[in-house]
Structure 1
Amino acid sequence: MLKKILSFGLAAGLLAGVPLFALLILNRGAPPEHGMVIGYTLMLIALSLVFVAVKRRRDDELGGVIRFWPAFLLGLAISGVASLVYAAAWEVTLAVTKMDFGTEWAKMYLAQSRAKGLPEAELAKLAAEMDEFKRNYANPLYRFPMTMCEILPVGLLVSLAAAALLRNPRFMPAPRPGSPR
């Protein structure tokens, strides 16, 4: 079981982290305009491996039947490993690109708020909050768990969906021996 958790978690983390790294390298360290949509889409695709792992466990190891909680916990464990790998990939990305993401994000957020017509008093308060964010984000002990919290909720949702669907042995049943696939 541990081997399954580690292998699927590593694969999912790399599937989410490596394209992120490549996109930032290709963009020369600048965050893409639609980075959030791209990032969460990559996470969802990568974490589809949770579904594959739970289905394989149900069909190959448990005779076609798995209960909700064991399936959910397997998915959570895989998601946890994937989150660690994803956060490590982000740290490598920041180190290689020398990108100051905290500053870039704060600038973008302030510019968007200014464009929305936020009053000067609120902009000043927001600027102070963004300065604090930049200071905090520069610390890897703050940044690493924060990065993990980007992907972990996606893993939680995928784990819930996989467990809920695959607990029903009639949902995508394993092919019977001798039947065409």
Structure 2
Amino acid sequence: MLRFILNYGTIAGLMIGAPTFTLFVILRENHPGGAAGMAIGYSIMLFGLSMVFLAIKRRRDAQGGVIRFWPAFGMGLAISLVASVFYILAWEAALAITQVDYIGAYINAAIAEKRAQGASAAELAQFAAEMAAFKAQYADPLFRVPMTLTEILPVGLLVSLVSAGLLSNARFLPARRVPELA
């Protein structure tokens, strides 16, 4: 079972990590931010985490077409955790290679948004101070890595829940019997 989880988790992780790393390195400081960047990132995550569904389906089929919810959910979470490690490694590698001040650009955009919303000078100063403290925290990998994990793990949790819920019903995409050749 562990080998099965590691295999599918690695495939999912590569499906997520490789595009994440490649896009960040290629686009560097011209990467899409805001809603477009999030849509691209979460689409990549969903694409890679589709391996959770495929793994649970394959395991169910190997077990005679039946799998219970909790074992399916646990397997999905384990695969998601392995994929999350690849995502974190890709993000850390991209930050190290490009030396892009991603968090600085994020903070500048957040301050500009506050300004556009009509925040007073005092509110902007307080917000800028909070963001400066956040930037200092983000420089520490012990803060950054768990924060990066919170980006992908909820998606993995959701995919695992949906996959286990659907595939614990033996009538959903039932296992096919392969006719024997004469």
Task: Please state which band the TM-score falls in when normalised by the shorter chain.
Answer: over 0.9
The aligned residue for residue 175 of structure 1 is 176
The aligned residue for residue 78 of structure 1 is 79
Q: In the superposition, relative to structure 1, how do residues 140 and 71 fare at CA in structure 2: closer, same or farther (>3 Å)?
A: same
Spell out, residue by residue over 1:63-101, the C-alpha distance to the aligned partner (whole angstroms, 9 max, x if none): 100000000000000011111110011000001111122
Distance 2:29 2:4 in 1: 34
The aligned residue for residue 24 of structure 1 is 24
Distance 2:17 2:113 in 1: 27
The amino acid across from 2:21 in the alignment is F
Spell out, residue by residue over 1:93-127, the C-alpha distance to the aligned partner (whole angstroms, 9 max, x if none): 00111112221111111111112222222211111
Query: TM-score, normalized by length of structure 2?
Result: 0.93
Distance 1:171 1:154 in 2: 22
Q: CA deviation at 1:23?
A: 1.3
Distance 1:87 1:28 in 2: 17
The alignment yields a C-alpha RMSD, in angstroms, of: 1.3
The amino acid across from 2:11 in the alignment is A
Spell out, residue by residue over 1:15-60, the C-alpha distance to the aligned partner (whole angstroms, 9 max, x if none): 1121111112221344313211110111011101000000000002
Residue segments in structure 1 that go unaligned for 5+ positions in a row? none
Aligned length: 178
The aligned residue for residue 144 of structure 1 is 145
Distance 1:51 1:178 in 2: 25
Further displaced range: 108-117 or 91-100: 108-117
Q: Is the 8 A contact 1:29 1:97 kept in 2?
A: no
Residue segments in structure 2 that go unaligned for 5+ positions in a row? none
The aligned residue for residue 39 of structure 2 is 37
Distance 2:48 2:161 in 1: 16
Q: CA deviation at 1:140?
A: 1.0
Q: Is the 8 A contact 1:29 1:98 kept in 2?
A: no
Question: Is residue 10 from structure 1 mapped to residue 13 from structure 2 by the alignment?
Answer: no
Q: Percent identity at matched positions?
A: 56
The aligned residue for residue 133 of structure 1 is 134
Spell out, residue by residue over 1:120-169, the C-alpha distance to the aligned partner (whole angstroms, 9 max, x if none): 22211111111011001111111111101100000000000000000000
